[in-house]
Chain A
């Protein structure tokens, strides 16, 4: 028991040391890279695209640090299609946001207040167009998010609004689904399983384990255009709930 605890502390010391070091190196390198591209070679739209890709790479790099103690399995049930999509994810852990880097799409996340307050990363989040749904009027949010979709950028929502404290998914807020109906973007349910035991809510200690991300089939606008936002919200909730149960019963 004591030995297990010691191993856990050593693992975390290893992870957090590399996390800080790599964050400093990767963020600096990517900043220089994207700034040079933006200033001398690329138009603004492409610079944003590179910037968002850089953030994805940062997420991938961070999640590669604890390998093989923490492994990530990403299944995509539908191979074709590039989006833009509205990704709807369940939310159990603070590391969920980093995992989104596994997705191949250019994307921005809809976040709470606190990510904007993280030193350096907060500036990155703001610059890359991440939207804080709690700090802007609904109309402005819809306008900005629709604009991003029209530029081909996918939007990632954690519609529970907060991390769930156990495997039971909370009820969803409706913004993702109102945006879907207004923008006609396809909705993609994304199941994230395993993060609740790797970095549970209320803990800073990482634990070894397997994270599984399952990207479900995209639901095109034609399939949901007749629904109200409320009905669409509940349908997507059920898809995620059923698939998570399936994934976790098989695990």
Chain B
């Protein structure tokens, strides 16, 4: 999966599950202050990302460090890379 595909799929999660307008979904957008999510919304976000990417997100520390959309792109990318390493 390319970086661009991760970005597009992540943004789609925000558009569909959180109904956030496309134009607000920029990499530097802070998910709490700019997009308005709260700490409990992160649970819904994790579920939606798991469903969308078909991955299991267990790394709680990694999730806790997420602040911006860019952080999410990197976080998903690292999970995908780990999954690939495991399968090869």
Whose C-beta in chain A lies nearest to the C-beta of B38? A174
Instruction: List the B side residues contacting A229 at CB < 8 Å.
Output: 40-41, 44
B 15-34 binary contact with A (CB < 8 Å = 1; else 0) = 00111000000000000000
Chain B residues, Cβ within 8 Å of A173: 38
Question: Would you call A21 an interface residue if the criterion is a C-beta within 8 Å of the partner chain's C-beta atoms?
Answer: no
A231 touches B36 (CB 8 A): no
B41 touches A228 (CB 8 A): yes
Tell me which of B19, B38, B40, B44 contacts A234 (CB under 8 A): B19
Is A235's beta carbon under 8 Å from chain B?
yes
Interface of A, secondary structure class, is helix
Query: How far is the CB of B48 from the nearest CB of chain A, in Å?
Result: 7
Bound-state Cα–Cα, A234 to B37, Å: 11
As a 0/1 sequence over residues 216 to 251 of chain A, the CB contacts with chain B under 8 angstroms (1 = contact) are: 000000000001111100110000000000000000
Q: Which 5 A-B pairs have the closest CB atoms?
A: A228-B44, A231-B19, A230-B41, A230-B18, A228-B17
Q: What are 16 A-B contacts with C-beta separation under 8 Å?
A: A171-B36, A173-B38, A174-B38, A174-B41, A178-B40, A228-B41, A228-B44, A228-B48, A229-B40, A230-B19, A230-B36, A230-B37, A230-B41, A230-B44, A231-B18, A234-B36
